[in-house]
Structure 1
Amino acid sequence: MGQPPQSERALVAALDRHERLIEVGVGRRPEVARALAERGREVVAIDVEVSEAAREASMEPRPSSAGSLRVVTADVTALASGGDDRSIRDGLGLDASENGFNAVYARNLPAELQRPTVALAERLDADCLFTTLGFEEPVVDVRRRSEESGTIVYVAR
């Protein structure tokens, strides 16, 4: 398990005030989603191909005071451009009683996924925060938030 890298700890700190979150592009590195769940948050982590590492992280036992981590195979582009809120819930594998996300976030978000990630956050009326691959500048309107670690977290809404 171990401690996430400094840039991921900065993202966790920036997201700490949110209760229900969606991580876009969890990939093979579920550390941010795991850390948020351990802080009592409910996280749905999505990717077009869910890795074994993400699946294992979602099945880890957590104390009763901890939150939850669910991983779902989903495409942010399809979710962002889909029909109504029901299509989002269906795409995330949620039942009708589950809604109300506070934030959509991503770490190392490539430029081509920034617009659909922000669009999904807008559809959910949620905050949108992300870090980039480092060599890319955001292609959406953002505020830059510099963390103590030197990491820049971009806030798109």
Structure 2
Amino acid sequence: MVSPSRRALVEELARHDRLLEVGVGDRPGVARSLAERGRGVVAIDVAVGEAAIAAASETEGSEVAGSLRVVEADVLALAEATDGETGTALDGTTGGFDAVYACNLPAELQRPTAALADRLGAECVFTTLGFEEPTVPVRRKSLPEATVYVARGDPSEPGSSESER
């Protein structure tokens, strides 16, 4: 089950074809919903949960239009890796990513997540834990059920280079 705020995030992210979720843990709802909409999603975490593994398995060979892969990886290491190392850590991913996103991204992971998105040439969208303000320059975007933060905008979107805190 995906909460209303996460459904709003899915609506926002569904315009992208290839997405990387940072910190999936054991909450694959957004990634699974995006895969069901025909998107290719790679979800990473330092400790991928059983629910995320099960969701990825369920999308293989099913009637789900997209794909969901889960990979044990550390965003801190990926943000600092060379381009070749990033490709190795996300083995099997071709064509790169259009967006990097995270749900409830803690302050200490915002900078490396934005840096990874920058290295991948992808938009960076996240929600915070709610009580924390973003620690990186962002553009706030109000959705019906949530506020998302865009740390690295879609280059084709007008005003995407503008940042505020």
For the criterion TM > 0.5, the same-fold answer is yes
- Give the distance between the partners of 2:116 and 2:78, measured in 1 at CA: 7
Q: Aligned pair count?
A: 150
Matched, 1:21 2:15: no
| Counterpart check, 1:101 vs 2:100 | no
Aligned mates of 1:33, 1:121 — CA distance in 2: 17
Report the equivalent of 1:71: 70
Give per-residue Cα distances to partners, 1:73-108, cap 9 Å, x unaligned: 000010010012x2111111226xx13210000000
Runs of 4+ in 1 over 2 A off after TM superposition: none
> CA separation in 2, counterparts of 1:104 and 1:25?
11
Greater displacement, 55-64 / 133-142: 55-64
Whole-Å Cα distance in 1 between the matches of residues 88 and 9 of structure 2? Answer: 27
Q: Aligned pair 1:112/2:108, yes or no?
A: yes
Counterpart residue number, 2:158: none
Three-state SS of the structure 1 residue aligned to 2:137 is coil
The answer to whether structure 1 residue 30 and structure 2 residue 28 are counterparts is: yes
Q: Work out whether residues 25 and 45 of structure 1, in 8 Å CA contact, stay in contact via their aligned partners in 2.
A: yes
What CA distance in whole angstroms lies between the structure 2 residues aligned with 1:110 and 1:10? 20
> Relative contact order, CA 8 A, sep 6+: which one is greater?
1
Task: Please list the CA deviations of residues 108-148 of structure 1 after superposition, one character each: whole Å capped at 9, or x if unmatched.
Answer: 00000000000000000000000000000000000100011
Q: State, as a whole percentage, how many aligned pairs show the same letter.
A: 63
**Contact persistence 1:141–1:156 (CA under 8 A):** yes
How much is the aligned-residue C-alpha RMSD, in angstroms? 1.1
In the superposition, the TM-score normalised over structure 2's length comes to 0.88
C-alpha contact (below 8 Å) 1:89/1:99 kept by paired residues? no
Counterpart AA for 1:83: T
Instruction: Provide the residue aligned with 1:139 in structure 2.
Output: 135
SS in 1 for 2:77: helix
> Matched residues in 2 for 1:106 and 1:10: separation?
13
Is 2:152 the partner of 1:153? no
What letter corresponds to residue 63 of structure 1 in structure 2?
Answer: E
In structure 2, the gaps of 5 or more residues are: 153-165
Unaligned runs of 5+ in 1: none
> In the TM superposition, what are the counterparts of 1:41-52 in structure 2 within 5 Å?
41-52=39-50
Q: In the alignment, which residue of structure 1 is the partner of 2:8?
A: 10
